[in-house]
Amino acid sequence: MSDTEKITREHLEAKFHALQQGLQGKVANKKDSLTTIVAIVGVVVVLLAYAIGRRGGRKRRSVVEIRRG
């Protein structure tokens, strides 16, 4: 582009389209790995919640002694 040439709507649309295509290509490549990471993090969160809940249940557990007399 020279200094005397004006920026037109077509120039902007072409640049935005090229930028969008580049970003969509990168996102498509990362989508599978991102899905796997999210699934692993979800499983870890569920396991931590289970472990913390189990530990809390043990702390509050009462001991009941039954006597026959």
Question: What is the pLDDT, as a whole number, of residue 65?
Answer: 81
Question: What is the pLDDT, as a whole number, of residue 33?
Answer: 86
Q: Kindly report the backbone phi and psi dihedral angles of residue 8, in degrees, each rounded to the nearest multiple of 5, phi listed first.
A: -105, 170
Give the C-alpha distances (Å, rounded to integers) separating 3 from 6, 7, 12.
Answer: 8, 10, 16
pLDDT < 50 stretches in the chain: none
Question: What is the pLDDT, as a whole number, of residue 21?
Answer: 85
Q: Is 38 exposed, middle or buried (0-12, 13-18, 19+ CB in 10 A)?
A: exposed
